[in-house]
Amino acid sequence: MSDLPLLSIVIFLPIAGIPVILGLKSDAAIKWATLAILTADFLLATSLVFAFDASTATMQFAESVVWIRALGISYAVGVDGISVLFVFLTSLLGWICVVASWTAIDTKIKTFMINLLVMQTFMLGVFCALDLFLFYVFWEAMLIPMYVIIGVWGGDNRVYAAFKFFLYTLAGSLLFLVGVVVLYFEGGRSFDILVLMERDFPFHIQAWVFLAFFVAFAVKVPMVPVHTWLPDAHVQAPTAGSIILAGVLLKMGAYGFLRFSLPMLPDAAQYFAPFVIALSAVAIVYGGFLALAQEDLKKLIAYSSVSHMGFVTLGLFTFKSNGLNGAVLQMFNHGITTGALFLFVGLIYERTHTRQIAEYGGLMKVVPVYTLFLGLFSLASMAVPGTNGFVGELLVLSGAFATGKATGAIAIVGAMLSAAYMLRLIRRVGLGPLIHDKTRSLWEINGREMSAALPLAIFVIWVGFYPAPFLDILGPSLDHLLGQVLGP
């Protein structure tokens, strides 16, 4: 390991770039500078993935500095196979957000870009933190820039959506905080995540803390019945906000389960697994039906997220190697696919200023390239073989069937539903006759938009055909995790 604190550089590079942004006057320069910072961060994160040793489950690039001695809190970061994947995903979506906002954001550009940079640092910090206190600080600090992003640059009902997002997540997080402090005392006054993983907490502690954690993570995922903030936030947020929400923030709930609930509270996790699986099954089917009924493009994708994240939580709580691998891969996939879908809805919204499905139709005739990309990501979202969604969903399903036939059957229904609403989306937006005047004068996606779409499309197909590199990175860490949950 090199002496350079590579991980800290990746985490703090975006925030360190803020003085540069503050010094710039012209909007174009601000955009280019933000793009440069986030692209550099992406390259660093990529080099991290290449330097990552996928043969072990230990934390790599680990750093630790005492932060608050009196309480045993330290600034400790490090990545294993799970987190390195999400660091990569976050940094990828980071610069894509800038590209997506290039023309979509036309007021207070400087403030917007600063918010994006702050957000990026906090999100990367969440995935790297090895100290519970540090994790919590990043986790909750994220609310500030996200609240501002939704509330300032969002749609007509943005204030309501921003409030709802903020208060839902805050209420959940604060219970998490109480759980964290309880673990601190029960675990011998330590916030060290690795130390706490080794502790064997008595069952009643595990159960209460699990419930406290569950509220926080379930809100973030979001699981039914605390998902109602998501459609509002997604619909009202600007494109970049939607991409961040769907691509990264939703993953954090599931990541919380992976990093804390499962390894630290294994007995409680197994005890509550049927409950979580039942909620996931409800989310898969209920979210699917809701998506089927939506007339608003963003709402449709938002509800499809509820359904897809149901697959993730289902896979996590099967405690089977396949289910777990599938769930984590599906988290990555969902970030790519749904991020891309929101990007594409944003692109068309910029042109027509409507998100109503009924106002589209026959886009294939005017903007074929756009429609092809939209079709590709829709297919990936419904998990057609050859796309990334298929691999993840298949693994989750095999885990689900191994747990119980009924669970598997319900999950299959959800998979069918996702085909139904996604095909409906493609048919009503992309195919058919060109009926609306507004859509006649649409223009094709340009080079800038293409540059954001292409990398996402590459990952859709790469994971679809050759998921091995991704599963290899995850493998040892997930095996280790499974060992922690199920015991020796």
Binding positions for other proteins, rule: CB under 8 A: 67-71, 108, 111, 136-137, 140-141, 143-144, 147-148, 151-152, 158-159, 162-163, 166-167, 170-171, 174-175, 177-178, 181-182, 184-186, 204-205, 208
Which residue lies nearer to other proteins by CB, 145 or 253?
145
Q: CA 65 → CA 5, 68, 143, 455, 465, distances in Å?
A: 11, 9, 25, 36, 42
Which residue lies nearer to other proteins by CB, 22 or 51?
22
CA–CA distance, 218 with 302 (Å, rounded to integer): 16
Shortest distance, CB of residue 216 to other proteins, whole angstroms? 11
Q: How many CA atoms lie within 13 A of 93 on its CB side?
A: 35
Contact between 220 and 169 under an 8 Å Cβ cutoff? The reply is yes
What DSSP line would sit under 20-88, residue for residue?
A: HHHH--SHHHHHHHHHHHHHHHHHHHHHHHHH--TT--S-EEEEEEEEEGGGTEEEEEEE-HHHHHHHH
Which residue lies nearer to other proteins by CB, 185 or 466?
185
Matching residue, tokens 């590459």: 458
Shortest distance, CB of residue 12 to other proteins, whole angstroms? 12
Which residue lies nearer to other proteins by CB, 211 or 419?
211
**Distance, CA of 123 to chain centre:** 10
CA–CA distance, 341 with 387 (Å, rounded to integer): 14
Shortest distance, CB of residue 159 to other proteins, whole angstroms? 5
Tokens of 155: 């749609």
Q: How many CA atoms lie within 13 A of 274 on its CB side?
A: 3
Tokens of 178: 């109480």
CA–CA distance, 473 with 252 (Å, rounded to integer): 19
Span between the terminal Cα atoms of the chain, in Å: 30
CA–CA distance, 283 with 285 (Å, rounded to integer): 6
CA–CA distance, 276 with 343 (Å, rounded to integer): 31
Which residue lies nearer to other proteins by CB, 200 or 437?
200
Shortest distance, CB of residue 424 to other proteins, whole angstroms? 35
Shortest distance, CB of residue 334 to other proteins, whole angstroms? 27
Which residue lies nearer to other proteins by CB, 89 or 114?
114
Which residue lies nearer to other proteins by CB, 158 or 234?
158
Shortest distance, CB of residue 15 to other proteins, whole angstroms? 11
Shortest distance, CB of residue 395 to other proteins, whole angstroms? 36
Q: CA 161 → CA 115, 147, 158, 299, 449, distances in Å?
A: 18, 9, 5, 13, 27
**Distance, CA of 61 to chain centre:** 23
Shortest distance, CB of residue 112 to other proteins, whole angstroms? 12
Which residue lies nearer to other proteins by CB, 4 or 70?
70
Which residue lies nearer to other proteins by CB, 218 or 382?
218
- CA dihedral 103→106→110→116, nearest 10 degrees, is -60
Which residue lies nearer to other proteins by CB, 177 or 195?
177
Which residue lies nearer to other proteins by CB, 3 or 156?
156
Shortest distance, CB of residue 248 to other proteins, whole angstroms? 18
**Treating both helix axes as pointing N-terminal to C-terminal, what angle do 297-316 and 388-403 enclose, rounded to 10 degrees?**
50
Helix (H, G, I), strand (E, B) or coil at 222: coil
Shortest distance, CB of residue 134 to other proteins, whole angstroms? 10
Shortest distance, CB of residue 172 to other proteins, whole angstroms? 9
